[in-house]
A and B are shown apart, each in its own frame.
Chain A
Amino acid sequence: MTVYIVRRLLQMIPLILGVTFLTFAIVSFVPGSPISSMQLNPRARPEDLERIRQNLGLDRPWYERYFVWLGDLVRGDLGLSLSNFTPVSDRILSVLPNTLLLTATALALALLIAVPLGVASAVRHNSLFDHVTTMLVTAFAAIPSFWLALLMIILFSVKFDEWGLPSLPPQGMYDLRGNTGLLDRIEHLILPASALALGQIAGWTRFIRSSMLETINQDYVRTARSKGLAERAVVYRHAFRNAMLPLVTLVGLAIPELFGGAYLIEQIFAWNGLGRLAYDATQSNDYTLIMGATLLFAVLTMLGNLFADVVYAIADPRIRYR
C-alpha cells in the first residue's frame, strides 16, 4: 500500500508540471498586465512604470518567468501577490479556513440528507416513496445553484423579514455590528452551505440508491434474510455497510466539485473564501495569486482522487493495488 501511495504521489509531479505550465501560458497570453491599474494613475510617470515592470520581471518572456516561478515553488515559495505584495501563501491561508468551513458544512449537510433518502428509497424499491424521491431528485438535479441561492435569499431574508418572521442574513460571514457569537456564525452559514449542498444532494441520492439496490440483491443479503434475521439487521448491518463503500469514492471525487461550487456561492453570499480570492485575482491579472490558487485546486483534486482510491482499498479487502 505504501508503495502504491508513493507511486501515485510521484505520478502527480508531471501532472502538476503540466497544469502549472498550461495555466501560466494562458494567463500570460491574456491581454493586460498586473500593472494596468497603475497605468491609469496620472501621477505615475512612464519611466516609473517601466522600472516597476522590470522589477517585477514582466519585461522577460513568459516561459522564462514560468521557470523562475517554478524554481521558487520547488523551494516552497509561491511568490508575492502582485496586487498588494503580500506573500501568496499568506493570502491563501488567510481565507482557506473560511472555504473549508463552508464546504465541510455543505458536505455534511448533503450526506445527512442524501444517505437516508437514498437508502430508504432503495429499501422501498418501486414504492410510491421511491417514485416520488426519484422524481424529486431528477427535478432538483437541474436547478442552477446560483439561481437557487438567489431564491433562498429572497424567501428567507427578504420575504421573511417583510412578513415579520425570523429571517436569515443574506450576506457576509458575521454580523458587522459586532454581535459575533457562535449563533451568529451559524446563522450566516445556513444559506450558503444549504445552497452549496443542494447541488450535490440530488446526484448523491441517486448514486446511493443504485448502490444500495445492487447490494440488496446480493447473495449474502439473501442469506442473512433467509437465516431469519430481522429486516433492520439485514438492511443496516449487512446491506448498508457494503453499499456505502462506493460513497467513499464519491466524496473524494466531489471535493473539486464542491470547491468549484463554492466559487460561485462565495460570490453571491459575499463569503470571504478562496473563490472570491481567485475571482479578484483574475480581475486584477494578479498572476502569482492565480497560479497559487490553481495549484492548490489541482493538488486538492489529485489528492481527492488518491484519497478515494486508498480509502476504498482499505475499506474493501477484495481490492489489491499494485
Chain B
Amino acid sequence: MAGEGVTIKGAIADPAAPAAPDRDWSELHAAAKATRGYWSRAGRRFLRNRVAVAALICALLIVIFVLAAPLISRHVTGFTYYENHLAQKLMAPGEDGYILGSDGNGRDVLTRLAYGGRVSLLVASLAAMAILVIGGTIGASAGFFGGVVDTFLMRLADVLLSIPTLVLLILVSSFYQPSPVALAFIIASVSWAGVSRLIRGEVMSLKNRDFVDAARVLGASNSRIIVKHIFPNVVPLIVVWASLVVPALILVEATLSYLGLGVRPPQPSWGNMLQDAKQFLRQSWTLVFIPGFMIYLAVLSINLVGSGLRDALDPRLNQ
C-alpha cells in the first residue's frame, strides 16, 4: 500500500510541475505532515465522544450483518432469500426454525433482512459517491471559474432544487425497474444540487487564500491547484456531508422500494419488505416492525456518527 502511494504521488508530481521538483516535494511533504496531524487529532476527539463511538460500532455491526448474508443463509437460518414455503406463511418469530418469522410468501425474514440490507446500503453509498462526483465537479468548477460558468451551473442547481425530485424519481424508476447500480445513478442525477452549492461556497472562499496565490505564482496549472491545494481542504467538509447524506439516501431508497419502484422482486430490500408486509398489517406486526427497525437503526447510527465527525473535524462548530 505504501509503495503504491509513493508511485502515484511521483507519477502525478512529475508531469505536472517538472520545472520545480524539489520545491514541490518539500511542499507536498509539509502538507502531508500537517494533514496527518489534523486527522489524528480529529480521530482522538472522535474517540472521546462515547455516543459517536457506540453509533460507529452499531453501524459497523449492520455492515457486517449484511456482508455476512450468504453465511447467515447457509449456517444460521438454512434458508435462501427467495425460497418460499407456502405451508409456513406468516410464522411468528422463533416458530418452526424461522428465527425472525416468515413473510406472506413463507420466506425467512432474517435471511431476507440480511440480503435486503445489502441493497439498501449499496444503493445509498453508491448514490452518495455518484452525487459527490457530479455535485463536486459542478460545484468546484462553478466556484473556481466563476463568471458565466458559475451563473449557468448554479441556475441549473436552482432549477433542480425547485423540482419535486420524488415525482421524477418515481416516474423514471417506474418505467425502468432499475438494478441497484442504475437506481443509485438515477437518484444521484437529480440530487446533486445541494452538495454542489456547498462545495462551490467552500472553493470560492479557498481560492482567494494566500497558499493558492503562492501555488499560482510557482506556475501550477488550474487542475493542479484544484487537485493538490483546494481538494485536501474540502475533504473534512465532504466527510461530514457524506455521513449525513447516506442516511438520507437510505430513506430515499426505502421510500422508492416501499412504493414498489426499487429493485426487482424477489430481490429483497428493506423498503420492499415493508411494502410486502403492509398487506399483513392485521396478521403480523413483527413483519412490519423488523425491516423498518433496521432502516431506523441504520439511519440513526450513521446520523450519530455524522454528528460525531462534525464535532471532531471542525472544533469551531462545537457549542
A residues contacting B by CB (< 8 A) are: 14-15, 18-19, 22-23, 26-27, 30-32, 138-139, 141-144, 146-147, 150-151, 153-154, 158-159, 170, 210, 256, 259-260, 263-264, 267-268, 278-279, 282-283, 290, 293-294, 297-298, 301-302
Q: Do A139 and B300 have beta carbons less than 8 Å apart?
A: yes
Which residues from chain B contact A19 at a C-beta distance below 8 Å? 159, 162-163
* B181 CB-CB contact with A under 8 Å: no
| Distance between Cα atoms of A153 and B277 in the complex (Å) | 13
* B171 CB-CB contact with A under 8 Å: yes
Excluding A147-B288, A154-B288, A263-B164, 11 further A-B contacts by CB distance (< 8 Å) are A19-B159, A19-B163, A23-B168, A31-B175, A32-B175, A147-B293, A151-B289, A158-B281, A260-B164, A268-B278, A293-B167
Q: Do B168 and A150 have beta carbons less than 8 Å apart?
A: no
With A144-B254, A151-B288 already in contact, the answer to whether A26 and B281 are too (CB < 8 A) is no
With A19-B163, A297-B167 already in contact, the answer to whether A150 and B278 are too (CB < 8 A) is yes
How does the 8 Å CB contact mask read for B273-292 relative to A, with 1 for contact and 0 for none?
A: 01001100110010011001
Q: Do B174 and A260 have beta carbons less than 8 Å apart?
A: no
B contacts with A: majority SS: helix
Which residues from chain B contact A297 at a C-beta distance below 8 Å? 163-164, 167
| Distance between Cα atoms of A287 and B166 in the complex (Å) | 16
Q: Nearest-CB distance from B74 to chain A (Å)?
A: 30
Q: Nearest-CB distance from B301 to chain A (Å)?
A: 9
Q: Nearest-CB distance from A316 to chain B (Å)?
A: 23
Q: Do B174 and A141 have beta carbons less than 8 Å apart?
A: no
**Total interface residues in chain B, CB < 8 Å:** 40
Which residues from chain A contact B155 at a C-beta distance below 8 Å? 14-15, 18
Report 19 cross-chain contacts, Cβ distance below 8 Å, ordered by A residue: A14-B155, A18-B155, A26-B171, A32-B175, A142-B296, A142-B299, A142-B303, A146-B254, A147-B292, A147-B296, A150-B278, A154-B281, A158-B285, A263-B164, A264-B255, A278-B167, A282-B174, A294-B163, A294-B164
Which residues from chain B contact A210 at a C-beta distance below 8 Å? 319
| Distance between Cα atoms of A269 and B12 in the complex (Å) | 57
* B259 CB-CB contact with A under 8 Å: yes
Which residues from chain A contact B172 at a C-beta distance below 8 Å? 26, 30
Which residues from chain B contact A23 at a C-beta distance below 8 Å? 163, 168
B residues contacting A by CB (< 8 A) are: 155-156, 158-164, 166-168, 170-172, 174-175, 247, 251, 254-255, 258-259, 274, 277-278, 281-282, 285, 288-289, 292-293, 295-296, 299-300, 303-304, 319
With A298-B163, A298-B164 already in contact, the answer to whether A18 and B170 are too (CB < 8 A) is no
Which residues from chain A contact B274 at a C-beta distance below 8 Å? 146-147, 150
The residue that A142 contacts in the complex, of B164, B171, B247, B289, with Cβ under 8 A, is B247
Which residues from chain B contact A30 at a C-beta distance below 8 Å? 171-172, 175
| Distance between Cα atoms of A153 and B172 in the complex (Å) | 30
With A26-B172, A158-B282 already in contact, the answer to whether A143 and B296 are too (CB < 8 A) is yes
The residue that B300 contacts in the complex, of A142, A151, A170, with Cβ under 8 A, is A142
With A15-B158, A298-B162 already in contact, the answer to whether A26 and B168 are too (CB < 8 A) is yes
Which residues from chain B contact A14 at a C-beta distance below 8 Å? 155
Q: Do B162 and A302 have beta carbons less than 8 Å apart?
A: yes
| Distance between Cα atoms of A259 and B166 in the complex (Å) | 11
Which residues from chain A contact B288 at a C-beta distance below 8 Å? 147, 150-151, 154
Q: Name which residue of chain B comes closest to A139, CB basis.
A: B300
| Distance between Cα atoms of A319 and B251 in the complex (Å) | 37
A contacts with B: majority SS: helix
Q: Do A256 and B255 have beta carbons less than 8 Å apart?
A: no
Q: Do B292 and A138 have beta carbons less than 8 Å apart?
A: no
Which residues from chain B contact A278 at a C-beta distance below 8 Å? 164, 167
Which residues from chain A contact B285 at a C-beta distance below 8 Å? 151, 154, 158-159
Which residues from chain A contact B167 at a C-beta distance below 8 Å? 263, 278, 282, 290, 293-294, 297
- Which 4 A-B pairs give the minimum distances between C-beta atoms? A147-B292, A18-B159, A142-B300, A142-B299
Which residues from chain B contact A15 at a C-beta distance below 8 Å? 155, 158-159, 162
| Distance between Cα atoms of A8 and B259 in the complex (Å) | 37
Q: Nearest-CB distance from B84 to chain A (Å)?
A: 23
| Distance between Cα atoms of A293 and B168 in the complex (Å) | 11
Q: Nearest-CB distance from B28 to chain A (Å)?
A: 41
Most buried by A among B158, B167, B170, B274: B167
Q: Nearest-CB distance from A158 to chain B (Å)?
A: 5
Which residues from chain A contact B160 at a C-beta distance below 8 Å? 22
Which residues from chain B contact A22 at a C-beta distance below 8 Å? 159-160, 163
Q: Do A150 and B303 have beta carbons less than 8 Å apart?
A: no
Which residues from chain A contact B163 at a C-beta distance below 8 Å? 19, 22-23, 294, 297-298
| Distance between Cα atoms of A22 and B158 in the complex (Å) | 12
Which residues from chain B contact A138 at a C-beta distance below 8 Å? 300, 303-304
Which residues from chain A contact B281 at a C-beta distance below 8 Å? 150, 153-154, 158, 170
Q: Nearest-CB distance from A205 to chain B (Å)?
A: 16
Q: Nearest-CB distance from A53 to chain B (Å)?
A: 19
